[in-house]
Amino acid sequence: MIPQTQQVDTPQDWQIALSNVIKDPKVLLNQLGLEGKLDAISPEALKTFPLRVPQSYINKMRYGDINDPLLRQVFPLIDESYEVEGFVADPVGDHLAISSPGILQKYHGRALLITTGACAIHCRYCFRRHFPYSESNPLASQWLQSLQTLRDDKSINEVILSGGDPLVLGDKKLASMVKDLEKIPHLKRLRIHTRLPIVLPERINKSLLAWISSTRFQVIMVVHANHANEIDESVAKVLMALRDSGCQLLNQAVLLKGINDNSESLVALSERLSDVNVMPYYLHLLDPVIGASHFDVSNQRGIDLINDIREYLPGYLVPRLVREQQGEASKTPIS
């Protein structure tokens, strides 16, 4: 008999790394020798969407370079407080697509589950930066309702775990969610949209790999890296481990001014992804969310860049340039 004492799990390495993410801009800038750049920060932007960056991600930034492509992704520049016409709080119509609390369905056959509002990192260009996550965090009762919604709609054959970042949830919770989903016979595929293998590789541990390799679902993991420098050896290692667990790996990136909006960076990203067995999937044009206008790259510039990189890469390493347009039945191809 197992005694009925309360078992408190000891936090795992990744949970410690997650609770130690850097939230203080002074600490971030000091580590990079950029103490003098504090006044480049927007205090208002910090209040509405705080700084959040894992230590291992900071370790991949270049010392002393305010324009480092990784730093730029997390740095709340003063530009965020400018109001720009056409940049809105919910650019992709997520509020309208909530079919039951915690479920977003815009496209045929696949339903997206908002599993948590939390992320390990705060990407300044994130289209969900103003999304009322707390209202859509599934409580236990909402989970039952979400399962019912999925059971009732036989046209759905793929569930996408999203958020926030679904992998900030613990493995017990995730494994039990997947068990519930497995009981719905018309579901075939489980897709996981996550940035954690890139920004907190510690997360990919034995217990995660165990539930991934034991599920009846075909598992597709869509990671999110925008620049080759994000994929160092520790990231490469966990991507290999995921592949070995039977996961198909895809990458989605966002085309971001000052970060990857040149053909050299895009070619290097695709090559690096290929080295670690990840196929480029989407290159998204920026969703026009308030506070992110300084990252915007025009459709035409995006098309030109894709045409450029086609000359340097095999076709399968050229990502699909897309934009998300409200009310459309899929992402809209641009090139």
3-state secondary structure of 330: coil
Chosen from ligand PLP, ligand SF4, none, partner binding at 310 (C-beta under 5 to 8 Å by type) = none
* CB 163 within 8 Å of CB 123: no
Stretch that binds ligand PLP, among 22-30, 100-108, 139-147, 234-242 (CB under 6 A): 100-108
**Residue 301 binds ligand PLP (CB under 6 A):** no
Contacting residue, 121, 208, 278, 309, with ligand SF4 by CB under 6 A? 121
* CB 196 within 8 Å of CB 17: no
Chosen from ligand SF4, ligand PLP, none, partner binding at 272 (C-beta under 5 to 8 Å by type) = none
**C-alpha to C-alpha distance for 208 and 202, rounded to whole angstroms:** 11
**Residue 191 binds ligand SF4 (CB under 6 A):** no
> CA neighbours within 13 Å on the CB side: how many for 42?
20
Chosen from ligand SF4, ligand PLP, none, partner binding at 160 (C-beta under 5 to 8 Å by type) = ligand PLP
Stretch that binds ligand PLP, among 101-109, 176-184, 196-204, 205-213 (CB under 6 A): 101-109
Cα angle value 138/189/139 (rounded, 5°):
5
Residues in a beta bridge with 214: none
Chosen from ligand PLP, ligand SF4, none, partner binding at 122 (C-beta under 5 to 8 Å by type) = ligand SF4
Sign of CA dihedral 22, 25, 28, 31: negative
Chosen from ligand SF4, ligand PLP, none, partner binding at 227 (C-beta under 5 to 8 Å by type) = none
Nearer to ligand SF4, 162 or 263 (CB): 162
**C-alpha to C-alpha distance for 75 and 53, rounded to whole angstroms:** 9
- Residue 254, number of CB atoms within 10 A of its CB: 22
Nearer to ligand SF4, 123 or 190 (CB): 123
**Residue 331 binds ligand PLP (CB under 6 A):** yes
**CB within 8 A of 21, min separation 6: which ones?**
52, 53, 54, 55, 120, 121
**C-alpha to C-alpha distance for 205 and 210, rounded to whole angstroms:** 9
Stretch that binds ligand PLP, among 29-37, 106-114, 165-173, 207-215 (CB under 6 A): 106-114
Contacting residue, 60, 72, 106, 122, with ligand SF4 by CB under 6 A? 122
**Interface residues for ligand PLP in 154-193 (CB under 6 A)?**
160
* CB 179 within 8 Å of CB 190: no
**Residue 330 binds ligand PLP (CB under 6 A):** yes
**Residue 227 binds ligand PLP (CB under 6 A):** no
**Residue 104 binds ligand PLP (CB under 6 A):** yes
**C-alpha to C-alpha distance for 121 and 195, rounded to whole angstroms:** 8
Nearer to ligand SF4, 14 or 263 (CB): 14
**CB within 8 A of 103, min separation 6: which ones?**
111, 112, 113, 114, 146, 149, 150
How many chain residues bind ligand PLP (CB under 6 A)?
A: 9
Query: Minimal distance in Å, beta carbon 56 to ligand PLP?
Result: 27
**Residue 126 binds ligand SF4 (CB under 6 A):** yes
Residues in a beta bridge with 192: 161, 221
- Catalog residues that contact ligand SF4 under the rule CB under 6 A: 119, 121-123, 126, 128, 164-165, 195, 224
- Catalog residues that contact ligand PLP under the rule CB under 6 A: 97, 104, 106-107, 110, 112, 160, 330-331
